[in-house]
Amino acid sequence: MSELTRLSLSDAVSRLRNRDISSVELTRAYLDQIAALEPTIHAFITVTADRALADAARADQQRANGDDRPLLGVPLAIKDVLSTTGVQTTCGSKILAGYTPVFTATAVKRLEDAGMVLLGKTNMDEFAMGSSTENSAYGVTRNPWNLDRVPGGSSGGSAAAVAAGMAAGAIGTDTGGSIRQPASLTGLVGLKPSYGRVSRYGLVAFGSSLDCPGPLTRTVEDAARLLGIMAGHDPLDSTSMPVDVPDYVAALGGDVKGLRVGVPKQYFIKGTQPEVDATVHAAIEQLRALGAEIIEIDMPHTDYSLPVYYIIAPAEASANLARYDGIRFGARVDKGDMWDTYKATRGEGFGPEVKRRIMLGTYALSAGYYDAYYGKAQQVRTLIKQDFDKAFERVDVIAGPTSPNTAFKLGENVNDPLSMYLEDVFTLPASLAGVPGLNVPCGFDSQGLPIGMQLFAPAFREDVLLRAGHAYQQSTEWHKRSAQVKI
């Protein structure tokens, strides 16, 4: 990893503004890193090298002319579930192979308008369904900290790209933990914004009431910079909230003295890797040492998050993925007859995990079962949200582990869907409640694998969340360690 690819996004912005480096120089460094590591890591589905160098040259010229946009010349990677004009968007699926959108997702467009250089589209679990990035139709992604381990998912490609120094930062999406969990497993900061904070327009839907685009970065400050650009109301998205966007970077300056940190007993459970439990407790004690008040809280409906999520999310997915039939969208396996074409297209185009969730969701929505499953799950979802509402009457943020385990071995959970689903047990509640969640690196296990602490705040209070995460990060050195990829 070169000196340039070790820079945080904020450091890169500073050096570009000071003319210490050029965007072309920085972009070439990342493209060289991609060329060296991509055959091993497989973080990308599409690398846009020619476009990136052209964008970088343009950015350097614009800066020479006085342009000083917040991301001018900064190379980023985008998860391949966000639409990009003229660049293939596959969602990790055969059924969208070769699909090139004619529009760009609002979140990506705002980054482009801020001056981003696009390095490429990152690998992911097919249609964002998975916790390991082993469900991609384009091959598995490996964890830069240990090539025999998963990087988490479904935004594993985005996480691996940043952790391996192949991008200054990356955008992922989080439906049930798909930014926070891979951030934890790869030693990064990962932020799931409040539902409605960042536009979903141009995001290929998995669970429409859950999906949230957000950043994966090396530092909390980097995440604050990206969120400030991506966030804000979008008239193209009916779920986008017309809520003011604060200056997240400016909000990082405060300390956490007097901050009330809630610790739910339901987040420290039997089955959690002991090193994860001990390390996260130590991180919470570090917040206490910084002046925060630690308060034990009760969130009694947490245990229902897993079954509730795996009813609601597949139900929404079964509806969203109905459009991929070989007639309206995506690839087509022509069998002459409409129904044979429909069955062949979906049968060959979707992978096993997507098929599993479509079947689960269709069953939950079917006549005679809707009230018993989907309707009941929505009622319990309300109780889970009320747990957060009551907790935030007593505390400012909530802290706990992000993942019950460090990165597991490739193939370890592929044939055990329940074990795979359990990897998201601590991230699902915030997704169901629509509140923001932040992963911050807080240590390593005995095998040198990263461990993350997760923080939650009330809806649309990302400023409080980022301030707490930044204060913790500034008092520790965990985020300064880099994965050393051996190829």
8 a catalytic residue: no
Decide: 158 and 172 in contact? Cβ < 8 Å: yes
What is the token pair recorded at 329? 């969208």
Q: Which amino acid is at 102?
A: V
DSSP string, 191-230: EEPPTTTB--TTBPPSSTTT-EEEEEESSHHHHHHHHHHH
Three-state secondary-structure class, residue 163: helix
Decide: 191 and 248 in contact? Cβ < 8 Å: no
Strand order, beta sheet including 212-217 = 44-47, 117-122, 75-79, 170-174, 212-217, 189-192, 437-444, 450-456, 397-401, 260-264, 293-297
Sequence-separated (6 or more) residues with CB below 8 Å from residue 445: 273, 275, 276, 279, 406, 451
User: Among 214, 223, 133, 134, which residue's Cα sits nearest to residue 179?
Assistant: 214
The one catalytic residue among 8, 79, 83, 403: 79
Decide: 427 and 454 in contact? Cβ < 8 Å: yes
Longest dimension (CA), the chain: 70
178 a catalytic residue: yes
Bond before 154 cis per omega within 30 degrees: yes
User: Among 433, 465, 438, 436, which residue's Cα sits nearest to residue 453?
Assistant: 438
305 a catalytic residue: no
The one catalytic residue among 10, 23, 154, 318: 154
**C-alpha dihedral over 77, 81, 84, 87, to 10 degrees?**
80
- C-alpha 40/C-alpha 267 separation (Å) is 35
- C-alpha 170/C-alpha 151 separation (Å) is 14
- C-alpha 122/C-alpha 432 separation (Å) is 26
- C-alpha 48/C-alpha 112 separation (Å) is 14
Q: What angle do CA 426, 387, 464 make, to 5 degrees?
A: 75
User: Among 396, 431, 196, 378, which residue's Cα sits nearest to residue 295?
Assistant: 396
The one catalytic residue among 8, 22, 136, 178: 178
Catalytic residues: 79, 154, 178
